[in-house]
Structure 1
């Protein structure tokens, strides 16, 4: 499929990435699922080939290319499996906070190792008692001399087990009015005193991606690790959630395309009552409906990516894409499993894994209900 925002150099890059993934990802993915972890060696191989943070400045180890290259990385990783979502989070969600709001010293200290895969990043917003309601987070950071003292808990943190560098949303002013003006971002490193990891969470799907609880008990963080300005954390989060939601929409679209492809292959090869089940009208109608939804989703997504690459404000449309494309992907997963019949419920068929993996996309990066609230608000309702 042709994407209007991609040029010849992007497609050359895609071929190189596919060749790389054919060798070092596809053959091992099921093993990673069973082991419940992506090995750090895979991150390092991604870094060696220039597939981590390609859009950041060359002086920090990136390639200084446009975000279209990141789109390709997200698409091709999703084709392997949703469990590789942590790499997209590192490239396109966490590291951009450092490039946008970090000081020169912070960039020089952290970014080079982010491009090599030696440093794995995470972002910690969600708490046991606060999900989408970020203004009401309870994790606090109190400045004492040269350090912040951080107390609180975070949960559902992608890359939570392996992360070396974590951007943590916390309250530096618990008494701020309105509440969101008390939120700041601190970068907490792996060896910070008072920082520990709780459980590695046992999820319904996305098994090889490590998700964890993080615990801060009088955790000492150098004041130089404040990202941006105190009290502006909520503003920074809102600015960067636009790209995060676009990344989720891209993954959902690719998942839908992959599920449809494998299901068409299956119904053509499977026979019942003396003919291929692809010849039954019910099968044809179901496939036709899904193909139409997916094609329309792709057209909307491509226009949205083009707008994002051109620096346009896409808050409303990206909220539409995030909820609609993840919703379509959930429906496609159900229909495709049904068309596989009993085999669709067997672990050796990829549709079973896809069926488990896709529902969370409607929950993270802001639930689909929150997306509808944003759309309604921006429509003046």
Structure 2
């Protein structure tokens, strides 16, 4: 085996190992939480409706305010699974909860901080099966300046959250739109330039695919299972069209499928697409159809594969929308924000195909046997991971 082929094999193996390592590191060093904030103008003043992961809020507020009773009662209510009991805990310790939230979620006008007071009692909701506390705040802001929002909600000293993405929707000061904040970009002004707003969502989409190991493995299974440039282009196009449609429909609230259904199917899709390639490899050479047959160079099996990819792409789009989690009224600004988020996903997807498939093409041309071995091993590993995730997600739902 030549040195170039050995380098190609090593590169492919390292890529797969890096994906597996990144998934393990995410579990070992914490996860990224998602918070949601809706800002509306009510009686001439901003009102924010915050949705925060209940367990994180209880632990962080109890620690910040030295409220041992909040920690004991809050964790007990979390373990009991009673949303009414959880809301009662938040109301009982409303002062500690409000002080924690308003110390990290801030509004200002013209550079002067706004002051907040609770509006009504706390309530509970769920996001992708996770209990979320709903905290509503009314703000008093000085006149004469554009409204600015700053969020540093989580991580705190709980040690298992590495960052929080705060998805903001707003209708205030005659402006409406959405924003995405995190530790690297904690602030925004409602009157900021359009390119800053769209840049946030492009970055958010790119980061979502880069950190979404299940979506990346699905793409990797598509790449190693494609026998030529035509197949990989058609497969990637089908996947893109499908997930773009359902992502926009779900993000706009026109389609609603529970995460308990979506997440196991996404995991299963990884195993199915990887297993398809293993089935192809196992077929005798004289029974493998030619790539050049049929319309667009695909035979019946090729078209069936594209149909399967398209169907699974529809489900992945629901997963993308669930991760973004915007729940806002229709507007052209919202539509453009969603489209730019999707463009960020596509940019990473195209980069992955452009970096990986040429390596496989070189390997298949120089050492077909080694290529079959490598793609088979990659597909087998991906299929196993997909089946494991599917089982985990079913048992956790």
Return the TM-score normalized by structure 2: 0.30
Instruction: Report the TM-score when normalising by structure 1.
Output: 0.31
| Rg comparison, structure with higher value | 2
Identify the structure with bigger relative contact order (alpha carbons < 8 Å, sequence gap 6+).
Answer: 2
